Structure 1
Amino acid sequence: MSPNSHANSLKLAGFVAILFGVMTVFAGGVALFGGKGVEQAVGDAVPFVLWFNFLVGFFYILAGVGLVLRRKWAMLLSGAILSASLVVLALLFMHVMRGGLYETRTLGAMVFRCVVWLAIFGVAKRGFGRATSF
């Protein structure tokens, strides 16, 4: 792959991360702070997953900006987001296995988040295969 295509891939991954982050912060904010009407719609949300997703959404945006600007720290942040998401997914599975209340869509959403961040991290790793500055 040419350096130009790496730069384009990083930009695309960055824009995806930013969009995903904005949507995550918005949806999480509504779910957490939307009041009684929203509580019913959310159903059996798992509080630690809801808070994690809301808070990490800000880091999605930061990582996205870093990828667009081709900053190597964004690759490291993307890896940290992926790792943290996998830990939360494992904790969610433990919660489910212990009989905790949950929504099936929560499991699907966490798996989806992990897949998205695996892809973004993969693009970042390939994009920063050459030496770049932090």
Structure 2
Amino acid sequence: MKRILVLCTGNSARSQLAQGYLQHFAGDRAEVYSAGVDPKGVNPVAIQVMAEDGLDISHHTSNHADEYTGIAFDYVITVCDNAREQCPYFPSAGELIHHSFSDPGHTPGEDLVTSFRRVRDEIKEYSREFIHQKLPA
């Protein structure tokens, strides 16, 4: 079984969405974790938009990246530029991957929920492709 860690700044939205989708698409082929370099708690809008797509992330917690430095990860994925720059050193990470997604709720001219849905959909497609390429069935 592979271990995947998704890192973001606040571990409140993008990394939570990615954790939900990566786990969904990987099934029992992976354990997926998420963390932040400055955790802020899981954003309720992230929970809402995932529920709209049939995934329950209400049980997720917001964790600091330092909590996972002792785990041997096969993949560490940073999903925002700030997390990439501040990413703690993971000596056991097999592959470090960066894919930046915009911060939902911070897009000029876009309302909060629409922004979260757009980023959710981008992360969903990225996660589906990631699992297809890295953990083929």
* TM-score (normalizing by structure 1): 0.31
Who wins on radius of gyration, i.e. which is larger?
Answer: 1
Higher relative contact order (CA 8 A, sep 6+): 1
TM-score of the superposition, structure 2-length normalised? Answer: 0.30
More helix by share: 1
